[in-house]
Amino acid sequence: MNLLIKNGRVVDPSQGLDAIADVLISDGKIAKIDGHIEGSNVEVFDAKGLVVAPGFIDAHTHLREPGYEGKEDIESGTKAAAAGGITTVFCMANTDPVIDSSILVSGLKERIARKAAVNVEVIGAVTKGLKGEELAEMGDMAEAGAIAFSDDGRWIANSRIFRSALEYASAFDKIIISHAEDETLAAGGYMNEGLTSTKLGIPGIPAAAEDIAVARDIILAELTGARLHVAHVSTKGAVELIRQAKARGVKVTAEATVHHMTLTDSAVVGYNTAAKVSPPLRTAEHVEAVRRGVKDGTIDIIVTDHAPHSFKDKDVEFRYAPNGAVGLETSIAVALTDLYHTGILTLEEMIDRMSAAPSRLFSLDRGNLKIGSRADVTILDLNKEWTIEGRKFYSKSKLTPFEGKRRRGKAAGAIVNGKIVMKDGIVL
């Protein structure tokens, strides 16, 4: 059956579209956009008062499968994505076993085909076992469908290995995604180094740990001419390094998480392990720099770095709690509340950074509502008032640093390949 989205405000940054219109979807493709469309034998989604946007894409998530299914799995993680209005997620390779071979990529993709509620792209490891010592089978993984490569969670400190990785990935026109943090400088730290860490008596991680790693990575990207993507940028120094590199023509792109744009290290007060993430939440000065970077395009995309853990894992002394927070079911609401309604980003900019831009960056066949394109659609209620309650999440992890916060704005629907997978917060 075809699907007709009626009466919505259609916003598509890829074609400068912002108008009240109907959208007809046929055979999983965008068939027509017009001021008024009549259709027979169609399912109707009434989007009056809502925004109809290209499907949102989260290029940085941890679905935990294989190996850590107690924290999350493909089914629960993609249902969480659908509930949050996200139609495509990228899953990172730091699983058990690590996704570092074509066999594992193929096996994971087979599981995805059977279990996923939304589109899932697989990111392969850069080095075998994430050990930073020997390159993984990137060529074979690329042929098996890996969209990019990352040792996320660890920085590849060996510069020779990292240079080789950049050169090898460029042969397949793939991007290396770097978790840029000098581990020797970050060692022994558990949150941002600063006034708050001093007051709490928690050893800190200086912003310089990120800045140093980003600088090294950019230098090697410039040397090789390869494509580098800097994950979860959190410091003003890193933003400026990326800005300068882009001005020189270096093939560097970057992402920022919703939490690094909306929370400061004060969220840790009370030894709140739900706010213990990597890189750590920074001070307001760094948050403002990251926001400016997203605004001016220095930082290309917004992601969640959805990293679920069980309550048992997090319910320990702060220093022993694992890093990570969930974000798939809150990212759109937090972005609308703290970035759009505050005037930091326009609606078009927010949709671009969370849909069109990641599609362009990773050469996906989505992220737009052009005629004939894949019918992945996110429908937004810009003004819905609600309170975040982790116990209601589809994710196996119920811990969020936004627990109890009142939000203005929420995803009202998600359509994947022409099929409604979420409506009014309920995954279908």
Q: Which of 12, 217, 305, 376 is catalytic?
A: 305
Per DSSP, helices labelled H in 297-346 are: 311-314, 331-335
CB 178 within 8 A of CB 156: yes
Total residues belonging to the chain: 428
β-partners of residue 132 are none
Q: What is the C-alpha to C-alpha distance for residues 286 and 371, in angstroms, rounded to an integer?
A: 41
Q: What is the C-alpha to C-alpha distance for residues 377 and 369, in angstroms, rounded to an integer?
A: 8
Q: What is the C-alpha to C-alpha distance for residues 248 and 256, in angstroms, rounded to an integer?
A: 21
Strands 191-192 and 252-257: unpaired
Q: What is the C-alpha to C-alpha distance for residues 426 and 233, in angstroms, rounded to an integer?
A: 32
Q: Six-digit token pair at 125? A: 């490891």
Q: What is the C-alpha to C-alpha distance for residues 393 and 389, in angstroms, rounded to an integer?
A: 7
Residue 211: how many other CB atoms lie within 10 Å: 21
Q: What is the C-alpha to C-alpha distance for residues 60 and 151, in angstroms, rounded to an integer?
A: 12
Q: What is the C-alpha to C-alpha distance for residues 188 and 106, in angstroms, rounded to an integer?
A: 37
Per-position DSSP letters for 365-425, written without gaps between them: S-SS--TTSB--EEEEEEEEEEE--GGG-SSS----TTTT-EEEEEEEEEEETTEEEEETT
Active site residue 305: yes
CA separation (Å) from 232 to 124, 130, 210, 239, 303? 18, 18, 10, 11, 8
Amino acid at 226: A
Q: Six-digit token pair at 158? A: 């060996």
CA separation (Å) from 289 to 76, 259, 261, 369? 34, 14, 9, 31
CA separation (Å) from 94 to 106, 123, 400? 16, 10, 21
Q: Is the peptide bond before 322 cis (omega within 30 degrees of 0)?
A: no
**Residue numbers annotated as active site:** 305
